[in-house]
Amino acid sequence: MKMESETKDKKKNTASSGKIKLLRSIIMLAAIAALIAGFTYAWFFNRMDMATLMKILPPSNISILGPSGKKLDSLELTYNEGDEKDTNGTVTIRRVFCVESTGSFKLEIAHTTNLKGLKFNLYRANQVNSSDTGSAENKIVTAKDNSKYSYQENDRVAGSYINKIDSTSEYLYADQTYHGINYGNYDNVQAHAEPIYWLAGAKANNYSLDSDSSNRVEITDENGTKTEYHHTYFVCEISWTETTKETDLFYIFAENADVQ
């Protein structure tokens, strides 16, 4: 089963440029090769924590970037050599992204639920030397630009779904909590196209910046003003069981901690 990145016209809404940064920085990830009919009606939205997706907000000081702190429109999720696949057909991929911010922030993920056995984990990560081979404790992920990142499996980002139906099914399902916000009065929505929301930690939980000076960068804007930003790296680990071709869309949100 192959995976493709579904970016198209979403670029202008999902990543900040060097001059314009959105109050909430959003990156879209897509897995598997057929877009769900009807999903185009959806507007991923969390009433309590997020503004309406696609709404352009005033310039801000937070964005989601790729490995090495480079501009990122979307993460490439094609299953590649070096990714994992076990004898049961479970595929696991790991990709690196970076939150560039000047202060504490919150994380949220929204996604559809087409893939069997779909699971994901986020881990705090640190960029390491290209010669680092890791250890039993420190796992290594090599990004597409050949930069390397170390993470520990016991340093997983805690979080939980806020609209998941409790079920023993191998598929996830979202309840109707945000149906009206996403689709309005449109009711002919396939169950797996109903977006499900995951929040990192409790709603009051923020990610504070560490003291590692190597993760800091100074950026000068067009007016000559210098601002120190911090790069906080994460490894996004996604796994699923291969069946037929389906599509799931993932959105990763980063929000300033002081935004209500």
Domains of the chain by residue range: 8-256
pLDDT on residue 30: 58
Alpha carbons 183 and 82: distance in angstroms, whole number: 39
DSSP secondary structure code for residue 12 in this structure: H
Residues of the chain with pLDDT under 70: 1-60, 77-78, 80-81, 202-206, 210-214, 244-245, 258-260
28 three-state secondary structure: strand
Alpha carbons 237 and 119: distance in angstroms, whole number: 8
pLDDT on residue 148: 95
14 three-state secondary structure: helix
pLDDT per position as a tens digit, 166-180: 989 999 999 999 898
pTM, entire model: 0.76
CB 246 within 8 A of CB 112: no
pLDDT on residue 121: 93
At 61, list the tokens: 């000081």
**DSSP E strands, the chain:** 24-31, 62-65, 84-85, 90-101, 105-111, 119-128, 139-142, 148-156, 159-161, 196-200, 216-220, 226-241, 248-256
List helix spans (H) across the chain. 11-14, 179-183
pLDDT on residue 234: 94
CB 74 within 8 A of CB 30: yes
